[in-house]
Amino acid sequence: MENLTHGSLFSGIGGFEIAAEWSDIPTLWNCEIEPFNQKILKQNFPNAKQYNDIRKLQQPEYVDIISGGFPCQDISVAGKGVGIKGGRSGLWSEMWRIIRDTRPKYVIIENSPALLIRGFERVLCDLSEIGYDAEWECFQATDFGYPHKRERIFCVAYPHKDNVQTVLQQHREISPISKEASTELRRFMSVEWVEGLTNYRTITRGNGLPNKMDRTKSLGNAIVPMIAYYIFECIKKHYSLQTNS
């Protein structure tokens, strides 16, 4: 089976990138507009080509998997609730454009669970328009052993096929995280988050140290890499079944 490749949109500090790395899927490029996050990405993923503004991104190199958590400010219950037509969350249209032009084998979309009532039908219709089917599931960090809720919706899309099998049911037995992967995880998460000294209600509160506040600010909207790792493993197994059938 050929190796899958990955490209990341709205990359943040690289949660999808490190999950792809755990799954032995190379990230060929990422796209992130925040300068601080760009530095983190460059430091930890020096071999990935870096783009900074999705609105200016045209025809990136082909990858098999495109991931992205487009901005949730207009969707989240913590925001004003204007939905996917808002100025920030409306950047979904740019992600859709990249998917349409690149046509990867798989797409991973992450967002607030409130997307289900504030624009998810738009996402599904847009994907269907370019010939993609989709499935989705809400995951909480507690499902993966972390001491904070952090619920997010994850949608996996793929080109329509008559014989397609579901992706997210392919790998229910999650492989234990290795010691090496755990060390990598600590590069992206504060010690308090990993070791359970805080929870999802207090993770965004600083402790008075400016550098810690910077890290926590960057982590505020970051995905839990272990969830993304699970999804990448599901995709790998699904792709193997599809190519060998």
Who wins on pLDDT, 204 or 76?
Answer: 76
pLDDT at 243 over 50: yes
Phi first, then psi: what are they for 25, rounded to 5°?
A: -115, 110
pLDDT digit string, tens, across residues 167-183: 886 655 544 344 444 44
Highest mean pLDDT among 6-15, 84-93, 160-169: 6-15
What confidence tens digit (pLDDT) does each residue in 193-213 have? 344 433 333 333 332 223 443
3 state DSSP class of 100: helix
The alpha carbon dihedral of 76, 77, 82, 84 has a sign of positive
Dihedral of the alpha carbons of 93, 95, 99, 101, in degrees to the nearest 10 = 70
Beta pairing class for 27-31 and 152-159? unpaired
> Which pLDDT score is estimated for 72?
87
List the catalytic residues. 72
In the chain the domains, ranked by start, together with CATH numbers, are 6-176+224-244 (3.40.50.150)
Tell me: pLDDT of 94 over 80. Answer: yes
User: What is the pTM for the complete model shown?
Assistant: 0.82
Residue 192 has pLDDT above 90, yes or no: no
Contact 52, 11 (CB under 8 A): no
Per-residue pLDDT, 214: 44
